[in-house]
Amino acid sequence: MNTAIILVTLLTALAVCQDHDYWVDRVWGELQQAVTCATCEILLGTLKAVAHQGPDVLRAVLEEVCTQAKIADADVCQGTAAAQAPSVFYILEQLQIGSVTSRLMCASLGRLCPWPEIDFNLTLPPEPSSQPITRSVNDNTRDGENRTVRVVHLSDTHVDRFYTAGASYACSKPMCCRPYTAADAPNSTLFPCGDWGGNPRCDPPIRLLTDSLLPVLQGLQPPLAFTLFTGDVVPHDFWLTSRASVEADYNTTYTALQPLTRQGPVYLAIGNHDTSPINIYPVSSTPSSNLTPQWAYDLFAYWSNRLSLQPSLPSP
């Protein structure tokens, strides 16, 4: 048996009744030593043992380790741990150390394990027997005459509803251009954000969409046949997101896109950021009800229908 698996098994068996400080010290120590595949799996085993103590213990330990390691400001660590702990807890409860999944986690988190081979077969449908359609049935152009169809593809707008022009773009948070502190506020910083965004540490204000990009698109000739919008409306304030904030982001961005429907439908796709917590889209068989993003699917379906098919629907 793999030595790492033996150590993890022993650790799990001895994990009962250890206090918060013990787990913080152990996780922090093993995090610093996780430089190989074996030590990475030992760390995962320790986290699995922490999860056995319950989701609240796991959240508190993750928050403290994040703060102790100075990965981010204390409030960012707190918000991130609170948001991600339920999904991390579920994953660790299901995880088997030494499995393809655990090695895949260590491969993706620092490439500490070799990428495991994934047994995956994809069956493609047969090629269509009929000839491909090269012209629309409503195409009135003469043979040999080119017909231009104008389409726009928008993606990753990440509009920040709390963007503040003049706030600092050199803040201590993962995303700036908000007055998090008095030193970050307008007229108090040497690094002020502009009116239209553009700094790589900030997401854009809504005016960049409504007063700049969309008027240009509406003035194009020939007009747009349709628009593709492939998601990510939520800004990168991942430690602050909630169901309410994500729903407000949906409504803000999709309302701004409505004028494009005067030219043609807007077809939507959901992005990895477009739920809370981010990146959590569990399959229907996942038993934990607090992980389901059905509320996001429902609001997305409303806007998808409104922008592509029924522009006369009332606002939510």
Is the distance from CB of 184 to CB of 168 less than 8 angstroms? yes
Of 220, 219, 213, which Cα lies nearest the Cα of 148? 220
Residue 287 buriedness (CB in 10 A; 0-12 / 13-18 / 19+): exposed
Which class is 150-163+203-308 in CATH?
alpha beta
DSSP 107-123: HHTTS-SPPPP-----P
Q: How far is Cα 258 from Cα 279, in angstroms, rounded to an integer?
A: 26
Is the distance from CB of 8 to CB of 47 less than 8 angstroms? no
Q: Give residues with Cβ within 8 angstroms of 81, minimum separation 6.
A: 59, 60, 62, 63, 66
Q: How far is Cα 216 from Cα 262, in angstroms, rounded to an integer?
A: 14
Instruction: List per-residue pLDDT tens for the chain, 316 residues long.
Output: 455 555 555 455 444 446 889 999 999 999 999 999 999 999 999 999 999 999 999 999 999 999 999 999 999 999 999 999 999 999 999 999 999 999 999 999 889 999 988 888 888 888 877 666 565 545 555 555 667 789 999 999 999 999 999 999 999 999 999 999 999 999 999 999 999 998 999 999 999 999 999 999 999 988 999 999 999 999 999 999 999 999 999 999 999 999 999 999 999 999 999 999 999 888 877 776 678 899 999 999 999 999 997 444 445 4
Q: How far is Cα 208 from Cα 228, in angstroms, rounded to an integer?
A: 18
Q: What is the dihedral of CA 295, 297, 299, 303, to 10 degrees?
A: 180
Of 79, 66, 89, which Cα lies nearest the Cα of 277? 79
Q: What pTM did the predictor assign?
A: 0.82
Is the distance from CB of 261 to CB of 307 less than 8 angstroms? yes
Q: Where are the domains of the chain?
A: 3-108, 150-163+203-308
Of 295, 165, 162, 154, which Cα lies nearest the Cα of 237? 162
Q: Residue type at 196?
A: W
The angle subtended at Cα 43 by Cα 41 and Cα 44, nearest 5°, is 65
